Amino acid sequence: MPSQRHDNRKPDELREISIKRRYTRPAPGSVLIRAGRTTVLCTASVEESVPPWMKGKGRGWVTAEYSMLPGSTSPRKARERGSKVDGRTTEIQRLIGRSLRAVVDMEALGERTITVDCDVLEADGGTRTAAITGAFVALADAISSIEKLPDPKKSPLTGSVAAVSVGIVDGRAVLDLDYVEDVEAAVDMNVVMTGSGKFIEIQGTGEEATFDDDDLAALLKLARGGIKRLTAMQKESLGRQWPL
């Protein structure tokens, strides 16, 4: 077993993370998040309407879209247009939407829709987890821009959310896999959690391998530690805008 990871990180070490708010001007929430070389632009837009099936119910809606831009990978990824959205894209954007809705009080949001667009500029593993972590910061900024909430004293955000990957590579559990590790992983898992430590979603797969209770416990312990550090970064990034 190699003594260290290929990039010299410790098993429980995140890649270098940066979160830059207000990256673009048109959307009230705009965040550029980097995890190593993986780079995702998350923008959150507010519309004063809801889908037809929600009208008149006094509840808002939060949804997400995800895309990997053509130049984010090599070879070039074909641009997705209209109905030509592949299954992976659909699954990821639904995951992002579910993750964000888990920490939003829709009645406190009022009858409006927030759409968070997550566009991958460069992909080097962990694009969906970086997207979720950055999307929450963009969502918080977008909500803070709303002037007429049903109850101005009540934040629509009930918690924070972040996500990270873990896996078993070369026989040991490691945190925050890049592409090289993701390809070699015997077990690959994405974990979405609230800042208070509750699970929202766990996606775990044995890649031509199996894992037992001890492996699962080790992976979840790593994920929990990673989420705690990501939450601290989100809080530092938002500063006085931290809603919790």
DSSP assignment of 4-45 equals S-TT---TTPPPPEEEEE--SSSSSEEEEEEETTEEEEEEEE
Look at residue 54 and tell me whether its pLDDT is greater than 80. Answer: yes
Q: Which CATH number does 17-239 carry?
A: 3.30.230.70
126: left (phi over 0), alpha (psi -120 to 50) or beta: left
pLDDT of residue 81: 75
Cis preceding-peptide flag for 150 (omega within 30 of 0): no
Q: Which two tokens stand for residue 66?
A: 């995800």
Look at residue 241 and tell me whether its pLDDT is greater than 90. Answer: no
Q: Which two tokens stand for residue 153?
A: 């004293």
Buried b (16+ CB within 10 A) or exposed e, 208-228: eeebeeebeebbbebbebbbe
pLDDT of residue 85: 75
Look at residue 3 and tell me whether its pLDDT is greater than 60. Answer: no
Q: pTM (2 decimals)?
A: 0.95
Look at residue 92 and tell me whether its pLDDT is greater than 80. Answer: yes
| Strand-by-strand arrangement of the 172-175 sheet | 172-175, 161-169, 187-194, 199-206
Model confidence over 116-143: pLDDT tens digits? 999 999 999 999 999 999 999 999 999 9
CB within 8 Å of 81: residues ≥ 6 apart: none
Model confidence over 155-179: pLDDT tens digits? 999 999 999 999 999 999 999 999 9
Neighbours of 173 (CB within 10 A): 23
